[in-house]
Amino acid sequence: MSSAVSANRLELLQVADAVAREKLIDKELVIEALEEAIQKAARSRYGMEHDIRTVIDRNTGDIRLYRVITVTEAEEIENESAQLTLEQAQAQYPDETLEMGSEVREELPPMDFGRIAAQTAKQVITQKVRDAERERQYEEYKDRANEVTNGIVKRVEYGNVVIDLGRAEAVIRRDEGIPRENLRTGDRVRAYIFDVRNEPRGPQIFLSRTRPEFMAELFAQEVPEIYDGIITIKAVARDPGSRAKIAVTSSDSGVDPVGACVGMRGSRVQAVVNELQGEKIDIIQWSPDAASFIVNALAPAEVQKVVLDEDNQRIEVVVPDDQLSLAIGRRGQNVRLASQLTGWVIDILTEAEESERRQTEFIERSTMFTESLDVEETIGQLLVAEGFSRLEEVAFVALNEIAMIEGFDDEIAEELQARAVAALAQRDADFDEARKSLGVVDDIAAIEGIIPEMLVVLGNAGIKSLDDLGDLASDELTDSEEGILKEFDLGEEKANKIIMAARAHWFDDEEDEPAVVEDESDETPVVEDESEVDASDDSDVVAE
């Protein structure tokens, strides 16, 4: 178009309408982009110092150019081509009613666009339309996070897959794609929208095919009972492209959640498996009872016995010898997924290992009781058989609990408790002597919650003063692998109390520190009256 003015006016509006429909943006935005483009080209023609405005009639397509003059205070004038004082404007435009801030519009004649001006106008229009299109895409997709969408592979760049969603582009980054899945240009693909960001280069829509939420959404699409809320997906754990576990429960006792997710002859679960490139899926019955849920999660392995440690969210599982490899899975996959699904740390033992460990613990504990209480081996074994494992339990348990053991009576129970108390006192004394030899200060020993044995462990770790202890973080004490006091099962709350108690003196020092007050008495006194000078001082002065 060599001349915007000579072109068919209605055709201009038709072009704007076509662009708006093609890009799915407001027609008004396209017309505003045209006005700005023509305005920029006109300023290039008439001079950049002029304030030139363009108006396109929305009904006829007529284009009008104006030069705008603004009435401005004399001291604020920066551009004499676009600003005039009130006196200058009244003299130049006597027919206008003017006041400070008024704008005067001078209509300019139609102009022909040269090649460069037309190219500039095209660039402005293209940029404006692109910005409007990006804003429309962000507004459309910003609330669609956590949904599954369909698209066609547009291109693959360094392992990242660009997906054409029809009205926007999205990307599956390398780490969000299923391993060994080979997506090619033109392939139709489903993915999970996990993030939408409005970045300077435009809205970025991030997709994933590996996240657990993607599998949950696929099941929701395939299983009507999930969509209706009868069946709830409680947890999902995935090893993308290989295996997954999904825990489901039903609010209707008449609906089997596992059977509903499997479908007739496995049709429903197979549809999800096909979408995930053959990923094997174990559908687990969820249970509010942690032990039952974990046993279900370890399927297809059979479990003989479980021991829960609820404080540390840890469970010990005993399986038959021939089920060990099945429970652990290839490269630990089965137990790892079960742990992710349930949120518990799972330790797996065979029956033989558990039996051997029980025997070892029995011998160790009975020997400890025999030596500490100075009793026969049989008595030590009886105590262990009744569930006693520590000296503290014998020393402070109700007397009748010991007396009730077969072959014991009140007299034996009292004697055992007395020996246990004496043994604990001697042990604490030994620990106290050891911590002193290690240089651990008494102030640490006085902190509530710290027992003598802990002091020795702290001393061996180089923690000898309140400052040493106060400088630690709670996980440095409690971490299950590297924590200094990991064997004592402190818990984070108790560890924090101990550390804060060690830091208390830091704040005491601040409170007790005396304020520095300048005492003029320490300085050489200023003599205001010569009569106040001591006579001896006078004699010294005379002598000098």
Which uninterrupted H or E stretch holds 56? strand 52-56
Look-up of token digits 């363009």:
54
- pLDDT tens-digit map of 295-350: 999 888 888 888 888 877 888 888 888 888 888 888 889 999 999 999 888 888 88
Predicted confidence band of residue 412 (pLDDT cuts 50, 70, 90): confident
Q: With CA atoms as reference, report the closest residue to 283 among 363, 222, 204.
A: 222
CA dist 454 and 22 (Å) reads 74
- pLDDT tens-digit map of 261-291: 998 888 999 999 998 888 899 999 999 998 8
- pLDDT tens-digit map of 385-410: 888 888 888 888 888 888 888 778 88
CA dist 461 and 252 (Å) reads 56
Tokens linked to 530: 């010569």
Half-sphere exposure of 480 (CA within 13 A, CB side): 5
CA dist 339 and 296 (Å) reads 12
For residue 40, pLDDT beyond 70: yes
Neighbours of 102 (CB within 10 A): 16
CA dist 337 and 238 (Å) reads 7
Mean pLDDT of 139-159: 83
- pLDDT tens-digit map of 351-382: 888 888 888 888 888 888 888 888 888 888 88
pLDDT score recorded for residue 523: 46
> Over the chain, what is the mean pLDDT?
80
Look-up of token digits 């003599």:
527
Predicted confidence band of residue 157 (pLDDT cuts 50, 70, 90): confident
Predicted confidence band of residue 511 (pLDDT cuts 50, 70, 90): low
For residue 236, pLDDT beyond 90: yes
pLDDT score recorded for residue 270: 92
Using DSSP bridges, classify how beta strands 280-285 and 305-309 pair: parallel, antiparallel or unpaired.
unpaired
CA dist 3 and 45 (Å) reads 13
Q: Rg (Cα) of the chain, in Å, rounded?
A: 42
- pLDDT tens-digit map of 5-16: 434 556 667 777
**How far, in whole angstroms, is CA 284 from its chain's centroid?**
27
Look-up of token digits 């947890």:
235
Ordered by where they begin, the domains of the chain are 9-136 (3.30.1480.10), 142-208 (2.40.50.140), 290-374 (3.30.300.20)
* pTM exceeds 0.85: no
